[in-house]
Amino acid sequence: MRQTKRLTPEQFELAARDLNVGEKTIYIAEAVLVQGRPQTELRDELKLSKGAVSQAVDRVWQAAQHLLPQGLLRITATLPLHQVRIVRQWEKQAMEKRGTKP
């Protein structure tokens, strides 16, 4: 099942603020990620290729993936499989507590 990429307006603002992109990229990404409009709709509206619209959305989406709520830290660890499951559960609980998704 394909995951729908969505951001809150606040997450979008944080992700996009330091990106060196044009107004059209911001318009496309906000329409898709915040407003939930289909990429095909933006492609037709702006007469752009599928790849151009996808790239605009992905630029902001990738920036958003590096944002973390205050008080959280991203780490990398090598663990036995049974401990990975525990750590993933901790991550899920921490993110749910803050109202975000891991």
Residue spans per domain, the chain? 9-65, 71-102
Q: How many helices (DSSP H) and strands (DSSP E) are in the chain?
A: 5, 0
Q: Give the Cα separation of 93 and 99 in Å (integer).
A: 10
Q: Provide the 10 A C-beta neighbour count for residue 34.
A: 17
Q: What is the pLDDT of residues 10-46, one digit of tens each?
A: 989 999 998 999 999 999 999 999 999 999 999 999 9
- Which class in CATH covers the domain with range 9-65? mainly alpha
Quick check: 5 and 61 in contact, CB under 8 A?
yes
Work out the average pLDDT over 44-64: 96
Distance CA 73, CA 28 (A): 30
pLDDT of residue 95: 81
